[in-house]
């Protein structure tokens, strides 16, 4: 039997996003050695027949041209966006006062775990990141998208 409606319309959307390709974030030479830099980039996803492009941000810290740590900008406590305090040399969350070292370790506040790192690739001097979200408020790093 032929239907005039796409199968996804009748059955609903799938719950699995189909983007596993890392996004281009920045040229490595735009980063500063051992100084966190917030970088925005475009992240594209496909969920069944819905294509979406969103602006995401990450904190990137270059240790060498081939070694870069990338943190999700979302605090592990309650999901707020934290900032880098260059004078104190720490990340600070404005919502509930969590403090993190440059390596992401919890130094104070209610955060239940260190900052979440994201998967990265470096190809031909360009940093690529795969955007992921994790459950806030729990000690385990649980991927939610």
What mean pLDDT do residues 70-81 have? 98
Q: Using one digit for the tens of pLDDT, what is the confidence trace for 81-138?
A: 999 999 999 999 999 999 999 999 999 999 999 999 999 999 999 999 999 999 999 9
CA distance linking residue 108 with residue 110, whole number of Å = 7
**Residue-level pLDDT at 130:** 95
CA distance linking residue 74 with residue 117, whole number of Å = 10
Q: Are strands 83-85 and 67-71 parallel, antiparallel or unpaired?
A: unpaired
Which residues lie across from 91 on neighbouring strands?
Answer: 84, 100
Q: Is the pLDDT of residue 18 over 80?
A: no
**Residue-level pLDDT at 20:** 66
Average pLDDT taken over every residue of the chain: 88
**Residue-level pLDDT at 8:** 45
DSSP 134: B
49-58, 60-69, 84-93, range with the lowest pLDDT: 49-58
**Residue-level pLDDT at 115:** 98
pTM assigned to the model: 0.84
Q: Is the pLDDT of residue 3 over 70?
A: no
Q: Is the pLDDT of residue 9 over 70?
A: no
A 10 A CB-CB count for 43 gives 16
What mean pLDDT do residues 27-51 have? 91
Contact of 13 with 30, CB cutoff 8 Å: no
């Amino acid at each position: 039997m032929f239907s005039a409606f796409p199968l996804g319309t009748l059955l609903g959307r799938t719950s699995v996003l189909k983007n596993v390709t890392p996004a281009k974030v920045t040229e490595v030479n735009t980063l500063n050695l051992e100084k966190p830099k917030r970088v925005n980039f475009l992240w594209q996803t496909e969920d069944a027949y819905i294509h979406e492009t969103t602006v995401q941000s990450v904190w990137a810290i270059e240790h060498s041209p081939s070694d870069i740590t990338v943190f999700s900008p979302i605090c592990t406590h309650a999901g707020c966006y934290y900032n880098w305090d260059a004078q104190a040399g720490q990340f600070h969350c404005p919502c509930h006062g969590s403090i993190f070292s440059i390596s992401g370790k919890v130094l104070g506040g209610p955060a239940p775990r260190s900052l979440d790192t994201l998967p990265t690739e470096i190809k031909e001097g360009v940093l690529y990141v795969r955007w992921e979200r994790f459950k806030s408020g729990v000690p385990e790093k649980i991927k939610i998208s």
